[in-house]
């Protein structure tokens, strides 16, 4: 009987101990949750204070400031105004831009690419430009049309430009139709024709008068084909004219063509003086012979 009572007392004490231990664990868990909440609140308050301090501080200390290299601080613009304070552009998360060039599907060496960066003073946008030098040897080594395009890449994607076709410039030696010397009566129209040599790109045509560039006017016009059109010839228009064809490949000059402008009335008076002088010196027979030759040439009868 005593044994049974002792065993029951032992079970009761064991249950009390277990209940007490469970209660202690519950209080420990509640205490941990309370401490966690307090620490979180303190951290949030500290972050808020730090953000307020950063907002009051100079923004240039926290964000990279891009300036316009074309208008450095202290420089005055040409059109007036004050550029003493540079236009700020704050980049919180800058995305690197990679520019490269592909020719005929092959990416060129980066050493051949030249970069230039600047900030647009109106919009504050940073612009990146790139250029590449293509040599004639590089084009000649490729059979077919030589095409290049520019590729701009960032972590958000890439954009490809329209392809550009590169052609080697050339200019042949001989003119298709060079100008020839001509004679015209005063106040009459005439034309000095000139068809330039074949070339790539199409050569530009202009004229020289006695070796100096000709300034076209209402009386002298260069046609779209390159011909020199004279509306009313003047005595001052008598000169040597040279046709010039030029493009990026070079320049070609035609042989000079002489334009002679004469006055018909002056020529008749000069001829009469010559005939009178000849008749006085050589006699009537020579005079009659000259008259016959002149009339034969100009159909006097």
243 and 193 assigned to the same domain: yes
More confident residue, 53 or 236: 236
Given a cut of 90, whether residue 288 has pLDDT beyond it is no
- pLDDT attached to residue 255: 95
For residues 8 and 171, the model is more confident at 171
CB neighbours of residue 227 within 10 Å: 18
pLDDT above 90 coverage of the chain, percent: 25
Q: What is the mean pLDDT of residues 10-30?
A: 69
pLDDT band at 290 (very low <50, low <70, confident <90, very high): low
User: Region 255-276: what's the mean pLDDT?
Assistant: 75
The structure tokens listed for 66 are 């891009």
Do 178 and 145 reside in the same domain of the chain? no
Residue 208 is part of a domain; what is its CATH number?
Answer: 2.60.40.10
Q: Does residue 158 belong to any structural domain of this protein?
A: yes
- What gap in Å lies between CA 115 and CA 132, rounded to an integer? 9
Which pLDDT value is given to residue 58? Answer: 47
- Has residue 253 got a pLDDT over 60? yes
Residue 103 scores a pLDDT above 80: yes
- The residue out of 168, 191, 218 marking a domain boundary is 168
Residue 1 lies inside a defined structural domain of this protein:
no
Q: Are 108 and 183 in the same domain? A: no
Asked if residue 233 is part of any domain, the answer here is: yes
* Residue 210 neighbours by CB distance under 10 Å: 10
Give me the pLDDT at residue 66, please: 44
Based on the fold, state whether residues 148 and 195 are members of the same structural domain.
no
Quote the pLDDT of residue 36: 78
In a shared domain, residues 222 and 256:
yes
- Together in a domain, 144 and 122: yes
CA–CA distance, 194 with 176 (Å, rounded to integer): 8
Range list of H helices, the chain = 2-56, 136-140, 264-282, 284-298
Same domain membership, residue 176 and residue 122: no
pLDDT at 64 (0 to 100): 44
Q: Which of 19-28, 81-90, 117-126 has the highest mean predicted lDDT (pLDDT)?
A: 117-126
> 301 falls in which pLDDT band (50, 70, 90)?
very low
Range with top average pLDDT, 56-70, 72-86, 127-141: 127-141
The b-or-e profile of 192-208 (16+ CB within 10 A means b, else e) is bbbbbbebeeebebbbb
The pLDDT score that the predictor gives to residue 43 is 67
Q: What is the DSSP letter of 144?
A: S
Residue 5 lies in a domain: no
Q: Which residue has the higher pLDDT, 67 or 246?
A: 246
Domain end marker among 153, 168, 183: 168
Instruction: Please tell me whether residues 185 and 244 are part of one structural domain.
Output: yes
Tell which of 109, 144, 168 closes a domain.
Answer: 168
Structure tokens at 297: 């040439």
Residue 46 has pLDDT above 80, yes or no: no
Coil, helix or strand at residue 133: coil
Provide the pLDDT for residue 220.
Answer: 92
192 in a domain, yes or no?
Answer: yes
Residues 124 and 204 in one domain: no
Please check whether residues 120 and 186 belong to one and the same domain.
no
The mean predicted confidence, pLDDT, of the chain is 75
Look at the chain and report how many structural domains it folds into. Answer: 2
Which pLDDT score is estimated for 129? 82
Q: Report pLDDT for 133.
A: 84
Looking at the whole model, is its pTM more than 0.75?
no
User: Does 291 reside within a domain?
Assistant: no
On whether both 175 and 236 belong to a single domain, the answer is yes
State residue 9's pLDDT score. Answer: 61
Is residue 119 included in any domain, yes or no? yes
Label residue 55 by pLDDT band (50, 70, 90).
very low
Task: Kindly state whether residue 260 falls inside one of the protein's structural domains.
Answer: yes
pLDDT of res. 199: 92
What pLDDT, on a 0 to 100 scale, did the predictor assign at position 112?
A: 73
Domain with 164, as residue range(s), is 84-168
Q: How would residue 251 be classed by pLDDT, with cut points 50, 70 and 90?
A: very high
Condensed to tens digits (0 to 9), the pLDDT of residues 135-180 reads 888 888 888 888 999 888 888 888 888 888 888 889 999 999 999 9
* Rounded average pLDDT over 255-263: 91
């Amino acid at each position: 009987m005593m044994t049974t009572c002792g065993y029951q007392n032992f079970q009761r004490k064991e249950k009390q101990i277990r209940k007490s231990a469970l209660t202690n664990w519950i209080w420990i868990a509640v205490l941990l949750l309370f401490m966690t909440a307090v620490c979180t609140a303190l951290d949030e308050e500290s972050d808020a204070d730090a953000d307020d301090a950063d907002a009051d501080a100079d923004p240039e200390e926290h964000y990279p400031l891009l300036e316009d290299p074309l208008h450095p601080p202290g420089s005055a613009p040409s059109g007036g105004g004050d550029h003493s304070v540079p236009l700020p552009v704050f980049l919180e998360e800058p995305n690197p831009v990679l520019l490269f060039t592909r020719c005929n599907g092959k990416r060129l060496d980066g050493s051949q690419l030249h970069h230039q960066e600047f900030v647009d003073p109106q919009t504050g946008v940073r612009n990146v430009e790139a250029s590449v030098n293509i040599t004639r040897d590089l084009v000649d080594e490729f059979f077919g049309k030589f095409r290049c395009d520019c590729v701009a890449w960032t972590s958000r994607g890439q954009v490809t430009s329209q392809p550009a076709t590169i052609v080697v410039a050339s200019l042949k030696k001989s003119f298709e139709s060079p100008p020839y010397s001509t004679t015209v009566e005063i106040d009459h129209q005439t034309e000095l024709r000139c068809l330039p040599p074949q070339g790539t790109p199409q050569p530009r045509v202009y004229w020289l008068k006695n070796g100096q560039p000709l300034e076209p006017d209402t009386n002298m016009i260069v046609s779209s084909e390159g011909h020199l059109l004279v509306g009313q010839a003047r005595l001052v228009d008598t000169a040597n004219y040279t046709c010039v064809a030029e493009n990026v490949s070079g320049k070609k000059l035609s042989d000079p063509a002489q334009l002679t402008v004469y006055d018909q009335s002056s020529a008749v008076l000069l001829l009469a003086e010559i005939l009178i002088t000849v008749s006085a010196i050589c006699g009537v027979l020579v005079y009659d012979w000259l008259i016959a030759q002149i009339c034969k040439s100009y159909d006097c009868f």
